[in-house]
A and B are shown apart, each in its own frame.
Chain A
């Protein structure tokens, strides 16, 4: 079950579809419910889209993870794009700098269980999100 990391280079809108399909099949193989597989795929789609829109290229890495009590999937979206100058602002609902709906990051945060972001202006962005399998998730 721990086949290591799946890395999907993100260079175009086609890669967004590829990344979310890989994420869905990994989640499905790991025993996630259909709803959670869709949440995982949707989160990947949004993260990959941010890469294409803001940084043009980057990578989505998918990994099955486990702690002492539960198993889950870790999604890491990384790019070396312009970075986000004000993270607090970017995580606020309704904020966007590319004229999109501005739901990107706060929306993704609602789809997953854990959300971590590090970014600074000019040094790219790394977003790490984890979705735990429902039967293991903390109530």
Chain B
């Protein structure tokens, strides 16, 4: 299951469309980091609205994505974590610490636009 990555201005948007296996998540990690370099993107939004479960592997991989992208000088925002998924994550002890989050894609874009407007 390949995750489509869309370029929108200086941002990249990856929309997860179904449950992902570990291999799919690892593939997404590589694809995103490569594209941040190729497109000189300033930020990445990962939309996880369709993710059924965020277990320890998924949340670790998302954290790694955000950390790698930060090393490239860009920012990552995870959007669309469903309320049930958030509940399960907290029970499991997973926090996505240090990773930006927003309610949905729209909020994520507003957040990034404001942030980069302030910088320019």
Q: Are A100 and B56 in contact (CB under 8 A)?
A: yes
Q: Do residues B55 and A45 form an inter-chain contact, with CB atoms below 8 A?
A: yes
- Whether A107 pairs with B84 at a CB distance below 8 angstroms is no
Interface residues of B in 23-75 (CB under 8 A from A): 23, 52-57, 60
A49 touches B55 (CB 8 A): yes
CB-CB under 8 A from A107, the residues of chain B are: 56, 91-94
- Using A34-B84, A107-B91 as known contacts, say yes or no to A45 and B21 having CB atoms under 8 A apart: no
A37-B84 in contact (CB<8A): yes
Q: Does A20 lie at the interface of the complex (its beta carbon under 8 Å from any beta carbon of B)?
A: yes
Q: Is the CB of A93 within 8 A of B60?
A: no
B21 pairs with A38, CB closer than 8 A:
no
Contact B57 A38 (CB under 8 A): no
Q: Check if A103 is an interface residue, CB within 8 A of chain B.
A: yes
Question: In the complex the two chains form, is B88's CB within 8 Å of A20's CB?
Answer: no
Shortest CB–CB separation between residue B113 and chain A, in angstroms? 32
Interface centre among B55, B89, B91 (most CB of A within 10 A): B55
Is B60 a contact of A42 with CB atoms below 8 Å? Answer: no
Contact between B92 and A111 (Cβ–Cβ < 8 Å)? yes
Interface residues, chain A, CB within 8 Å of chain B?
13-14, 16-17, 20-21, 24, 34-35, 37-39, 41-42, 45-46, 49, 93, 100-101, 103-104, 106-108, 110-111
